[in-house]
Structure 1
């Protein structure tokens, strides 16, 4: 795969990025494409490793290792190295419905389990993937695939995130008539409103949605099941229903002063900002504005980083990100060995931007927020914290304890809570009457059947908050099961079919 000695001859080259200070002036994607020459050189680094762990797609140590959609990575790396781009695209599209999304926003667990990464920097799989699909669109190789015949079966999909769209794409290609219902005004779920344009420009999402529409999929927006249409109506109109509503119930920080004006959920902040940007180029003022404010983001994940990037573009006065964990090590430790996902220190795009603007990394580690304090008008003015340390309790379990004397008061007029999600919103699940376990739809992976006949579930609504690539995996697999349910057999591919 690739050049036999490529991983020795060539060094890993990192993705090109626009200058942080320059890109803070707009909302365009921060990354820039590699040249074909560089991409071929990077493709050459893919070694003939015998067992390509890059596409094992499994969870090790609580994190994803390898590609959950089982991308044929060595094959298309080799084809890129040889300059056979169209063939590389064909191999890529066999397993991944939306590589333009994963090639931009997936955390690339495939690179963490790349065999080269045992002793050297991994192959730049994610950048090559994005380049293949972008070249496919640029050269007109991607055109509408209109099914030659229809089965007469109808499927409703509730939710238009990556799981719903992947299921819709697969079932439409099987000849079923698919209608996707979305409660928002635009299709895409978190792809549209949960991920800012700097990481995933919305023209990329709209391009794919328009293509799916041309291929015969119907999209219905501004429609919430249980309010605008009932489950009874859907069950009467369709032969099967798939719930792909995600896991959007925010995890809250219930502490003193939570009611202060200026304490917001991160996803609300990101959603309103992107919607206003798309609706009016931010002229309507229908968003939470960080301009001139001291902003604190509570939560150390990707959503928190996206909040930093957004607040910087709104010209905040300062920005800090709190994380409860200690700073990650610079290299893998003995309890995080290959092929596990590497839990190592790194600078996300937003952290680089904050450092460029304010001169330092905005992250603070091992911090616990104790309370919010507002002024006489109820507006947030500050928050109080204390530092934490990780220790073992009497049973040997790791716990966090406060460090006396480390109390601190931080000025803040806007706090964004980005500590994850509790699970799916329950209203739609109650509407369908499906069995719920631990707040998630009870539907076994591989079967995806709920307790209600003809109603299936896939993606975060079933597994909880997860990666986009897992959502695509589940969308593809539930489509196989629904096709089998409708037809008695399925022609759709499945990694789980025996």
Structure 2
């Protein structure tokens, strides 16, 4: 490394952010750029550690340890330290089609497995990745690079989320004619409508990259749902191969008393409608507003956090977030050793904003809803909760059990269900006659991404279940490689 003793000499520094009480009044990204000299210093903290676990992408205890797309992290950290930004961008693009996306929204499993992180705060890998990408755009280094030759093969990619876009980018690089179909009015899938604008800007960041893809020859068709607006039979007839990247968009429900009351919504319905309203300039009122309401969010994770941040920007009266799991420890538990993903207590941007406005972290742990209470107009007015403890049942499985005497009533006029997803929607899969696994995902080989229908591949959440954007990129790239092999009998794609 350029600075072998950098990890000893320099402390971890993260990018500054707009203050919570300021940023909740707009939908702008709130991360501020870090000066180049500071970034080079942070790159210098990367150790010559021999075995860099940061880019291994291994699954340990069911979670990612290291980067799932095997980013060459030590290499571009060193290049940043030496001021070789264009070389760093080239190394980054070798494994990551969209580093400006992951640099913003990835939870950074790479940092969780950083060797330096065993005893000190890890290298600020995510911020360096983001900065390399933004430097590339600012300097004009990222430009359309269409393939020099075309194979004449046509591939349809269903879904324009991260997996679909990664597959499309790679297949286009191989020279195939790629058409991406998206049922929404704007392309990007999860990147466009599933992640709020303050985390990932749509016009200046998402569309910036999509415009480059189109200039490289990728065709993106919106407002088209396969099986509804375009028959499956037409797709099978007109294309040489199909890559399914539809995501896992079937939300987990909470079937309890009062569920049919007005004012109870799935989190993604809330977030999607809001982002559309932001992009449309709030010219219509076709979104779910939290303004002036007491909001209760059931479920944690990124989606729950995004609901907190969005509700605050609407001007909610209060916000409460219920999590059925216990509060994580402040430091790694004995059964969560490095290089596993650290299951420790974190305060994300939404909770930080709620604490700044209302005085405390909005999360309540080991709590579940027992029923919803409505008013005389059929609108929710309260949620009844109880605390739980996790104990083994007669089969040896840990299940939540209600703790008597801990019942509570929380007033709420808006309740958002953010409890994850059960798998992909089924109509398209049924129309194609594809085999599914026990979780209703598309059954596709883990190495070749092939489904039960020859020439049809599956990648991303519709194959592996709800996961991270970076795993979607991994799968999209992998499916593209195997699709190219299917079409050409060999492949040069990584």
- Deviation of 1:14 (Å): 2.1
Distance 2:393 2:38 in 1: 51
1:138 matched residue in structure 2: 138
1:4 matched residue in structure 2: 4
Find out whether 1:482 has 2:487 as its counterpart.
no
Answer with 329-338 or 26-35: which moved more.
26-35
Deviation track 1:68-118 (CA, whole Å, cap 9, x = no partner) reads 100000000000001110100000000000000000000000000000011
2:116 matched residue in structure 1: 116
Deviation track 1:237-263 (CA, whole Å, cap 9, x = no partner) reads 110001000000010000000001000
Deviation track 1:317-339 (CA, whole Å, cap 9, x = no partner) reads 00000000111100001000000
Deviation track 1:180-235 (CA, whole Å, cap 9, x = no partner) reads 00000010001000000010010211001100000000010000011111111011
1:366 matched residue in structure 2: 366
Find out whether 1:37 has 2:37 as its counterpart.
yes
Distance 2:223 2:366 in 1: 41
2:449 matched residue in structure 1: 448
Distance 2:79 2:20 in 1: 33
Count of residue correspondences: 492
Q: Aligned with 2:346: secondary structure? A: coil
Distance 2:213 2:287 in 1: 30
Q: What does 1:82-481 align with in structure 2 at a 5 Å threshold? A: 82-203=82-203, 204-279=205-280, 281-394=281-394, 396-438=396-438, 439-481=440-482
Alignment check: 8 A CA contact 1:180 1:218 kept: yes
Alignment check: 8 A CA contact 1:171 1:178 kept: yes
Distance 1:397 1:163 in 2: 34
Find out whether 1:27 has 2:27 as its counterpart.
yes
Q: Aligned with 1:456: secondary structure? A: strand
Q: Aligned with 1:436: secondary structure? A: coil
Distance 2:11 2:393 in 1: 45
Distance 2:105 2:321 in 1: 20
1:496 matched residue in structure 2: none
Alignment check: 8 A CA contact 1:262 1:380 kept: yes
Structure 1 regions of 5+ residues with no counterpart? 494-498
Distance 1:372 1:283 in 2: 32
Distance 1:443 1:391 in 2: 35
Normalization by structure 2: what TM-score? 0.99
- Deviation of 1:283 (Å): 3.0
Distance 1:181 1:266 in 2: 24
Distance 1:39 1:397 in 2: 47
Distance 2:167 2:396 in 1: 44
Alignment check: 8 A CA contact 1:2 1:77 kept: no
Answer with 398-407 or 152-161: which moved more.
398-407
Distance 1:395 1:155 in 2: 48
Distance 1:302 1:99 in 2: 19
- Deviation of 1:402 (Å): 1.1
Q: Closer, same or farther in 2 for the Cα pair 1:423/1:150, shift >3 Å?
A: same
Distance 1:63 1:107 in 2: 12
Answer with 192-201 or 57-66: which moved more.
57-66
Alignment check: 8 A CA contact 1:2 1:45 kept: no
Calculate the aligned-residue CA RMSD, in Å. 0.9
Structure 2 regions of 5+ residues with no counterpart? none
Alignment check: 8 A CA contact 1:2 1:47 kept: no
- Deviation of 1:345 (Å): 0.5
Q: Aligned with 1:17: secondary structure? A: coil
Alignment check: 8 A CA contact 1:7 1:116 kept: yes
Deviation track 1:4-42 (CA, whole Å, cap 9, x = no partner) reads 111111111123111111111110012111110111010
Deviation above 3 Å: which 4+ runs of structure 1?
Answer: 392-397
